[in-house]
């Protein structure tokens, strides 16, 4: 019997960003999110990835636990991301775990701008078992 695929419950939304060659997806069996994706990267002037999110406005806080990240490439990433939109070149800020390069914060300050990375947080965060990301976002009303 094939496994039962349980989609994430509302208000969660799962989508691909930036048209990766292989579509990703998310499931929610046993109340645990599993997100699978592909794409060139979350970096430079445009991203390709799978993105599981809840639409937010105003101030909000996020707490996430990344149980694992498969080492499929040195900069394959899993973590917490806030985006202005799901466009590939969107403004974004994220705290991401990589299997080989630790934890870092990166951001794109304006649509289509080059991404920048803040100092790797590996010495402080990678040893945490399991890795936990906590972040808060404050945004002025449009």
Q: Which of 5 and 134 is assigned the larger pLDDT? A: 5
- Scanning the structure block, which residue is given the tokens 């803040």? 118
Check whether 129 has a pLDDT greater than 70.
Answer: no
Burial (CB < 10 A; 0-12, 13-18, 19+), residue 39, is buried
pLDDT at 120: 60
pLDDT exceeds cutoff 70 at 131: no
3-state secondary structure of 22: coil
Q: 142 versus 37: which is more confidently predicted?
A: 37
The per-residue pLDDT for 67 is 84
Query: Do residues 30 and 55 touch, judged by C-beta distance below 8 A?
Result: no
Separation of alpha carbons 69 and 40, rounded Å = 16
> In this predicted structure, what is the pLDDT of residue 126?
44
Asked if 109 and 120 touch (Cβ cutoff 8 Å), the reply is no
pLDDT digits (tens, 9 = 90+) for 44-96: 999 999 999 999 988 888 888 888 888 888 888 999 999 999 999 999 999 98
32: closest CA among 4, 58, 65? 65
Mean of all residue pLDDT scores within the chain: 84
């Amino acid at each position: 019997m094939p496994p039962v695929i349980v989609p994430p419950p509302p208000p969660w939304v799962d989508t691909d960003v930036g048209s990766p060659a292989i579509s990703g997806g998310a499931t929610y069996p046993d109340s645990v999110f599993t997100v699978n994706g592909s794409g060139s990267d979350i970096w430079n002037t445009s991203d390709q990835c799978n993105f599981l999110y809840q639409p937010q406005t105003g101030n909000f806080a996020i707490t996430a636990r990344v149980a694992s990240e498969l080492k499929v490439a040195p900069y394959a990433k899993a973590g917490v991301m806030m985006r202005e939109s799901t466009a590939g070149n969107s403004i974004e800020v994220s705290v991401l775990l990589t299997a080989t390069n630790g934890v870092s914060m990166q951001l794109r300050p304006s649509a289509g701008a080059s991404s920048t990375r803040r100092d790797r947080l590996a010495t402080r965060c990678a040893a945490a078992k399991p890795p936990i990301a906590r972040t808060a976002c404050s945004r002025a009303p449009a």
